Structure 1
Amino acid sequence: MKKQRLNKVAYCLFIFLIQSKVTAHAESFDAAFLSEGEGAEVDLSSFSRSDILPGKYIFDIFVNENYKANEEVIFKDNEAKVQPCISLQKLSSFGLDLTKISEKKLNQKSCFEYQQIKDLGVEVDTAKQTLSISIPQAYLNKDVRGYIDKSRWDNGITSAYMNYYLTGYYNSYHGDNANSVSANVLLGANFNEWRYRSNLFVSDFSDSPKLNITNNYLYKVIPSIESKIKIGELHSSGKIFSSNSYDGIQLATYDNLLPQSQRGFAPVIKGIAKSNALVTVKQGGNTIYKTSVQPGPFEIDDLYSTGSSGDLHIEIKEEDNSISSFIVPYSSLPSLQRAGHIGYEVNVGKLKNTEHLSDGLFLDSNTYYGLNNTFTIYNAVQLNNNYKALSLGIAANIGEFGALSVNTAYAKSKFQNWDSEGVSTSVLYSKSLMTTGMTVNLAGYRYSSKGYYDLSDVINEDNTNIRGNNKKARENITINQSLGKYGSLYTNYYKQTYWDGSKENNCMVGYNASIKNITFGLSYSNVKSDNKYSSNDKVISFNASMPIYYKDAKNSLSSSYVSYSADSNLSGDVSHRASFSGSLLEDKTLQYSASTRLNSGDFSGNVNLNYASRLAEYNIGYSKNKDSQSVNYSMKGGMILHEGGLTLGKNIGDTSMLVSTNGAANVPLFNQRNVVTDKKGYAIVSFARPYQENSIEIDVDKLDDNIEIAKSVKKVVPTDGAISKVSFDLKKGAKALINVKYQGKWLPFGSSVIDENDDQASIVGDEGKIYLSGLQEKQSYQIQWGRDKSCRLNIELNNLNEGRIYYGQADCI
């Protein structure tokens, strides 16, 4: 009875020690209290210095209460206690400004130099697996929100990859059959910071195959100038002048290199605090930013870009809880830049499809500069022997009146038999009226004189006389009006007129709303054109959708959707369509839809199935009406060639991740649709966000019993176009609970179990109990206790009792 009681005391003490925190003063504990008499030793020497033993552990790291990383931390003996090994180099990556801490030269790679920093605190919570670092504000770099240290950027592995999309179509119309099979392939290769991309398209496999290779180019991001360079078959952006295809070089600013809070346009907020205050920024009733400021003037220049418009409401809460507030009107346009920011693009090369031009060489460039919080100026140049154009513009955030930009361009064109010159002026406007819920997303007007042409007009010139067919004026406007709980109204209007008198009109108005789980919409559109493809289509449409909830095989809530829509051309013709869609199987890997349509007495129907396997995505559809029937099918997927072999998967994004699980097969990834590792232990996770933190997590709930993992979540920051390799250290092998003796006595309670890699594998419990995982047929461990006592434990599974967990006794020699 006494022995049983002492066992419980020992276990309680062990749990208490593991769940406590590292403190500045270690408590002493008389180990004799746990002694069970002759032969029962207890070694608490390590715990008397700290509640954690020397070794490597996975911890969440916080700096000033902000999460920074989840990574391995080494704990080492440092005189009287065990401490985490944190170098100044590591602290620098967490935001410590080394120039501010001391004039004394410190060894940045040493583990314990951080103790020399005054007021810097380090706290370890073993229960929560957290390492909290407190750095005085005066020692920190002033990093904007969303900043990620460049040391975390990952250029990825040397690799090649391919995306493929195979599609086929069969149609039978009144006995006439038609087949079509084609393939679209994207090729990519990565070497260090360089990327290669190319597109291949093969059409009409079944008849006369044609191969078309396009968009061959190399590119590289240049962080030092926040730009990207491309070489090969390219397209100019068309931000100001028309977009054109060419062979050459493009150098342009690349905003993805910037922290998210520096991308796009957002105003700088300036104010004055009377005391240590909390500043809150709201937009549309939602809090979008909070920060603490010291007494005196303050400036907020790291707001995230928050859409095209919406006034900002700023509240300053002082120490005495008094609140003052003011409003910063905010509207934006694509041309607006943050104060001091420069954006540019330069295209140099030879234009494509320009056989009739005297020279295909051209230059296309544009530059944007944010003068201040209000004005942005920009210009563009487009040059060719047959075409010369210059554009100047200014954009302004004009406060409560919205955002406005004005741009004027001059162009001189040389056609085969005649020359022309002219000007074009455009105006864009954006404004949000938060009090009424109305948003003028974009309103624009452009007028071009009779002699103004785009470079694309000169390139596309044919034998016809195009003088009278160039663009004259264009009007467009998009307005949204929120009605709160009653839904929203919207309207889109577009009109283009030409100098030959022809014009195009496109107008749509609509209403969207929802009642409980039912969403519905009503719209009217009018498309009118009096050019050579003259048409006049007026359509009124209604649509509604409703989910049907049900419990799936795992008793979790899932849903399918039923939808109905009707269209009428206002001439008595009405088309009705009803559909049903949803998903089945684990992880919703099988998606289905079925629909019927009734149009002027003509009934048609179609069904479609989409299945996402581990290696590819398959689609098949069938449709039929009174005159024809058709079948369409497709298959798409991707593959990566790397040093570990060839890995198959679904379509690969331009920036992706290759997961490695140390050879463990069939390891599922959390929150990824049917993605598991192959027999070599690899899996592909597509569509990563470049220069942002991407989390990859092993689904531990679905792991086999013979697999254990110390760290199931990893974070990676890939650069643009990279394929980042994310490796997890999984231990695949047996688990065992063994009672171990040394020289006829149980191993001391609290002894350390060290594996062949000098890592802490376990701690000895009561009666020499050791829990081990990842065991192979034969394994060896070093058992250490006291200051210089140790023994060797050799384990053979054949000598233990087999079960879900092996068990038995062993001797340490």
Structure 2
Amino acid sequence: MAALLLSLNASAGFGATETMLSSPVTTRVAQVEFDDGFLNGQADSRINISRFNQGNVALPGTYLVEILVNGLWFGRAELTLRQTSPDVRSVQPCMTRDLLERASLDLNRLTPEAAGRLANTASCPVLAELVEDASAAFDAGEQRLELSIPQLALVRSPRGYVGPKYWDDGVPAMILQYNASLYRNQNPGGISSTQGYAGLSLGLNAGPWRLRHSGSYTHSNAFGQTASGYQSVQTNLQRAIAPLNSQLILGEAFTDGALFDSVGFRGVRLASDDRMFPESQRGYAPVVRGLASSNARVRIRQNGNLLYETTVAPGPFEINDLYPTGYGGDLQVTVTEANGKTSAFTVPYAAAVGALRPGVTRFSLTAGQYRSPTVRMTPYLAQGTAQHGFTNLLTGYGGLTLSEGYAAALVGLALNTDYGAFGLDLTHARTALPNLPQRSGQSLRLAYTKLIAPTNTNLTLAAFHFSSPGYLHLSDAVVLHDLARRSLATGELGIPHTQLQLTLTQTLAPGYGSFYFSGSSMNYWNRTRRDTQFQAGYDNSYRYLTYGIAASRQLNTASAQWDNRLMLTLGFPLGPAAHAPYASTSVQHDLGRGASLQQSLSGTLGADNTFSYGLNASRVSGNGGPSTTSVGANTTYAISYTTLNASASQGNHYNQQGAGTSGTLVAYGGGLAFSPSSGDTYAVVEATDAAGARLASASGARISPWGRALSTSLTPFARNPVTLDPEGLPLSVELKATEQQAIPTAGAVVRVRFETANTGRTAVFQASTAAGHPLPYGAEVTDSQGTPVGTVSQAGRFIARGLPDDHGRLTITWGTRPDERCAFDYQLPPADKTPAAGLPVIQDICRDPASPRLLAKHPPS
């Protein structure tokens, strides 16, 4: 308090020294004097504040500091502070070649004189002597070096780019991600079925190498038949190749699908890794939207592989956290309702227009065997693609795919214009099938994307035209080859003729809401029907009320007919509280089949919203049939170690129950770390004695009693702030810093340590002099070792921190004379009996330190 008040007095014109040391520093630090008349207190108890007149100057030496360049964090490095001359008290930061390289200074721009100063290791060159208009400032309190460097003197790189020298491969570790669920339902016929699912992702890290395996185990018991099995999605060994900005994969994986369709392979692949580029150049995953009539099971597949499974509550749902295995390949979504009814739809996943910046090249080389869970053949596969940005306007790309009896060549270009981004390419494919005529044909693809700024319209359009029935994708060619090799009929396979995909999101003027549309339409050379499906909706809000309308067309897999649905929803919170329940009403109409009315209630509980719940009731009127009613509930609870979920519903002649768990476990040299969420790149946060501190960069994660927490949401090859919120920590535990930076490589487990200090116990004291006067304001409080532990504030009260023992002696000093000090002994209550709502409070009289008995007569309150 005294220091704070003295700082305020200084800013009012009484003088103060800076804690920031800038370079060069050639002037003496001015001697200042504070006027203690501004401190109110007893007239005969004037406090001695001369210790504040000496300034706050860092000492010469070597420090491990954080480097900030023009406000951006550039890592940590050792910094030497050197005194300029014996008669000058200030020190200056010495620049070294390693430090300046870390700060991204372009050393080629240094003048010969500056380069000579930098090469002289015996000297202490300051930044202003090396770079014109540059400066360096050392913050002693934050242990931070702040550099101000003109932009022209820095190595130019795209915004958000982090050089390989800062990448952290992490520590050796084992990783387990899991997502398990059990789903049981009994249909109107009285027949029950049980579905079990366990999705697993295993990993082993050693240096830059990542061993990964993912797969799923399913168990089904329906109609008296039991089936179970484990499906391996992929197993591979991978690592980053920094000089090529690429990733090397050995084993099972998928091609990226940027130019050709994404397919599975077993072999080797070297390809540019978008994550090593600035964030604006990285890939994306589509959002899956749909409608559910009950507590439904949603399964998402790509190329026959199960990627994701979850349970959703009744009404519209949205899944936006997919980690697809490639950039291309439509997603097949299956929705299983509580009564056993199943419907399916496809989410178009066309490759984005491949426009690149000038001079940027991306490539992909794959060699191995084709693999797919839907065919028995594993023919050889070789594929190469390349993209290059020639100008701001033009990007060219091409590729070649070779396999057993199949060859395809592609050439195309992308135009980035003011009217949008266009992609146009032509593919010629030739297929040789056993005992059948050779097929060949061309595919013309036109893609268009545009964000129309004036109307905030985001439009993506892809049109495919197959000039003849002889054109086949690689996956179709392998299926036909497999059928022909086994002398099976090949006519059932649909041969596409024309396909159109459209995705549109539109934000209207303020107050008018937004709408979305996603759909596709395809016809075939050898079929008369046209397959058309879509999902569309409109959303808006008025004050606390939200409302929307959604429509969809999707295939009912049981009846092989198309379902057309229309749903109207209304929602509003039941009160202004943070955890007030949210009520939602929806009316759904299946055209030609019936209508349903549904009421639901949902909400969250807990400081971090770790517990969520939902209740629902519905009434369905059939098309000429009897009406049915149902009720249901679902919950999700994210604790520090895992996420638990459960659901149940009951209707006319059917019932459903479900439960599941998901999370991540990491084992490393320091022990085990858990997280209720999953991801790709991790940080194990260590903070001794900081149990309960919240990890701000990972929702719901807190430091465990063993001093560890796991963050699963790090972005590879980028700066990730890792922040600890000290709220809830005991006052005896002090964090040396609350934020650190991590720059992991893809799949890494980085170790982030936060230094803590157990400073001892803390208590509130209120003491007066023997004459009954309050202790002087601003007096210093020290323990028996002479260590400052507090400062007296108003009415003789003070908070003492860092008390090493439950009992001891405190000395209060406000001057240099013997009569300007006093002392008293204290006895704190046991730590386990300290009031939960506050700190122990001690009242006593401060006596002459030479008094033989000073123990407090008043027990602590």
Indicate the TM-score class for this superposition, using the shorter chain for normalisation. Answer: 0.7 to 0.9
Structure 1 range deviating more: 181-190 or 725-734: 181-190
- Is 2:689 the counterpart of 1:658? no
Write the distance in 2 (CA, Å) between the matches of 1:127 and 1:673.
30
AA aligned to 1:187 is: L
**Match of 2:89?**
81
Residues 201/127 of structure 1: CA separation in 2 closer, same or farther (3 Å cut): closer
Structure 1 range deviating more: 69-78 or 487-496: 69-78
1:631 to 657, 668, 683: 657
CA shift, 1:134, in A, is 2.4
AA aligned to 2:276 is: L
CA shift, 1:570, in A, is 3.4
1:26 to 13, 25, 28: 28
Write the distance in 1 (CA, Å) between the matches of 2:432 and 2:210.
38
Structure 1 range deviating more: 418-427 or 171-180: 171-180
- Is 2:126 the counterpart of 1:114? yes
SS at match of 2:355: coil
**Match of 1:139?**
153
Contact in 1 for aligned 2:15/2:32 (Cα 8 Å): no
**Match of 1:160?**
174
- Is 2:581 the counterpart of 1:560? yes
Write the distance in 2 (CA, Å) between the matches of 1:211 and 1:347.
27
CA shift, 1:509, in A, is 5.2
**Match of 1:578?**
599
- In percent, how many aligned pairs have the same letter? 21
SS at match of 2:679: coil
Residues 84/695 of structure 1: CA separation in 2 closer, same or farther (3 Å cut): farther
2:432 to 409, 414, 417: 414
CA shift, 1:403, in A, is 2.7
Q: For 1:783-802, what aligned pairs fall within 5 Å after superposition?
A: 801-802=827-828
CA shift, 1:497, in A, is 1.1
State the superposition RMSD in angstroms.
4.6
Contact in 2 for aligned 1:31/1:42 (Cα 8 Å): no
SS at match of 1:653: coil
Residues 124/99 of structure 1: CA separation in 2 closer, same or farther (3 Å cut): same
**Match of 1:301?**
none
- Is 2:561 the counterpart of 1:546? no
AA aligned to 2:180 is: L
Residues 20/810 of structure 1: CA separation in 2 closer, same or farther (3 Å cut): farther
Contact in 1 for aligned 2:686/2:751 (Cα 8 Å): yes
What do residues 377-415 of structure 1 show as CA deviations (whole Å, max 9, x unaligned)?
Answer: 111211112111111112212433x33222111111122
Residues 146/490 of structure 1: CA separation in 2 closer, same or farther (3 Å cut): closer
Residues 87/494 of structure 1: CA separation in 2 closer, same or farther (3 Å cut): same
CA shift, 1:128, in A, is 8.5
Write the distance in 2 (CA, Å) between the matches of 1:775 and 1:455.
73
Residues 118/613 of structure 1: CA separation in 2 closer, same or farther (3 Å cut): closer
What do residues 3-48 of structure 1 show as CA deviations (whole Å, max 9, x unaligned)?
Answer: xx999989978997576654743344388999xxxxx99986x975
Q: For 1:198-277, what aligned pairs fall within 5 Å after superposition?
A: 198-204=213-219, 210-260=229-279
Write the distance in 2 (CA, Å) between the matches of 1:621 and 1:261.
39
AA aligned to 2:531 is: E
Write the distance in 2 (CA, Å) between the matches of 1:490 and 1:612.
31
SS at match of 2:31: coil
**Match of 2:461?**
442
What do residues 130-159 of structure 1 show as CA deviations (whole Å, max 9, x unaligned)?
Answer: 754222444322233223343332111111
CA shift, 1:252, in A, is 0.8
Write the distance in 1 (CA, Å) between the matches of 2:536 and 2:49.
81
AA aligned to 2:174 is: A
Write the distance in 2 (CA, Å) between the matches of 1:11 and 1:620.
57
- Is 2:481 the counterpart of 1:473? no
SS at match of 2:581: strand
- Is 2:396 the counterpart of 1:377? yes
SS at match of 1:718: coil
Residues 457/734 of structure 1: CA separation in 2 closer, same or farther (3 Å cut): same
CA shift, 1:369, in A, is 1.3
**Match of 1:304?**
none
Write the distance in 2 (CA, Å) between the matches of 1:777 and 1:264.
58
Write the distance in 1 (CA, Å) between the matches of 2:750 and 2:473.
42
Write the distance in 2 (CA, Å) between the matches of 1:497 and 1:109.
74
- Is 2:489 the counterpart of 1:464? yes
What do residues 660-686 of structure 1 show as CA deviations (whole Å, max 9, x unaligned)?
Answer: 113543433236443222232111111
Q: For 1:168-179, what aligned pairs fall within 5 Å after superposition?
A: 168-173=182-187, 176-179=191-194
Structure 1 range deviating more: 5-14 or 185-194: 5-14
Write the distance in 1 (CA, Å) between the matches of 2:246 and 2:752.
27
What do residues 469-507 of structure 1 show as CA deviations (whole Å, max 9, x unaligned)?
Answer: 311111233344554132345544422111113321225
**Match of 1:608?**
634
Q: For 1:301-312, what aligned pairs fall within 5 Å after superposition?
A: none
Q: Normalized against structure 2, the TM-score is what? A: 0.71
**Match of 2:203?**
188
Structure 1 range deviating more: 133-142 or 356-365: 356-365
**Match of 1:313?**
none
Contact in 1 for aligned 2:615/2:633 (Cα 8 Å): yes
CA shift, 1:454, in A, is 1.6
Write the distance in 2 (CA, Å) between the matches of 1:244 and 1:127.
55
Write the distance in 2 (CA, Å) between the matches of 1:517 and 1:354.
49
CA shift, 1:431, in A, is 3.7
**Match of 2:43?**
none
Q: How many residues align?
A: 697
Residues 26/166 of structure 1: CA separation in 2 closer, same or farther (3 Å cut): same
Instruction: In structure 2, list runs of 5 or more residues that go unmatched.
Output: 37-46, 285-350, 622-626, 765-777, 793-797, 809-823, 830-838, 851-861
**Match of 2:546?**
519
SS at match of 1:615: coil
CA shift, 1:771, in A, is 7.7
Contact in 2 for aligned 1:145/1:261 (Cα 8 Å): no
What do residues 664-721 of structure 1 show as CA deviations (whole Å, max 9, x unaligned)?
Answer: 4343323644322223211111121112221222222211122011211111111111
AA aligned to 1:537 is: D
Instruction: In structure 1, list runs of 5 or more residues that go unmatched.
Output: 35-39, 266-331, 552-556, 739-748, 754-760, 780-797
Write the distance in 2 (CA, Å) between the matches of 1:339 and 1:548.
54
**Match of 1:63?**
69
Q: For 1:682-697, what aligned pairs fall within 5 Å after superposition?
A: 682-697=708-723
Q: Normalized against structure 1, the TM-score is what? A: 0.75
CA shift, 1:337, in A, is 1.4
**Match of 2:619?**
598
CA shift, 1:60, in A, is 7.2
Contact in 2 for aligned 1:505/1:528 (Cα 8 Å): no
**Match of 2:700?**
674
